[in-house]
Amino acid sequence: MIGQPTDETWMYRALELAYYAFEEGEIPVGAIVVAEGKIIGKGYNQTEKLHDVTAHAEMLAITAAAQHLNAKYLNRCTLYVTLEPCVMCAGALFWSQIGRLVYGASDDKRGYVGKDTNLLHPKTQVVSGVLAAESESLMKAFFQRLRN
């Protein structure tokens, strides 16, 4: 019998999407939304490709999941994202009432955690640091490539 996927298993799927972003010259962030053991939404940063500052991985994954469910609330879903969400994405997660957020690397400059208020829905469970080293490594490689 095969066991249930772990947070690390799902985060590897999000990391695959982050690699797509990296290859396309986008900041390498990937996100998936999981419900009942299935991916129902996914996204990776596409702000350059779509010429849209709101085309963050989380926003695209949330939209896809809501369309899949034909509902705006994602309270029985988990978002896996390789980087701590920014304030904009945290706001979208609040409004979607996401049930659970799992993220990899922290974002000390633009992440929602460093703000004075909790921007997530009060019922949202948060797990941080899942595959953080892998996510950070990809981000460092991206910015190193930009500098060269």
Catalytic residue numbers, as ranges: 58
Task: Indicate the helix (H) or strand (E) that contains 81.
Answer: strand 78-83
C-alpha 18/C-alpha 52 separation (Å) is: 18
Helices of type H across 42-128: 47-50, 57-69, 87-96
DSSP-derived letter for residue 33 is E
Binding site membership for Zn(2+): which residues?
56, 86, 89
HSE (CB half, 13 Å, CA atoms) of 87? 7
Binding site membership: which residues?
56, 86, 89
- Identify the sign of the CA torsion 14, 132, 80, 64: negative
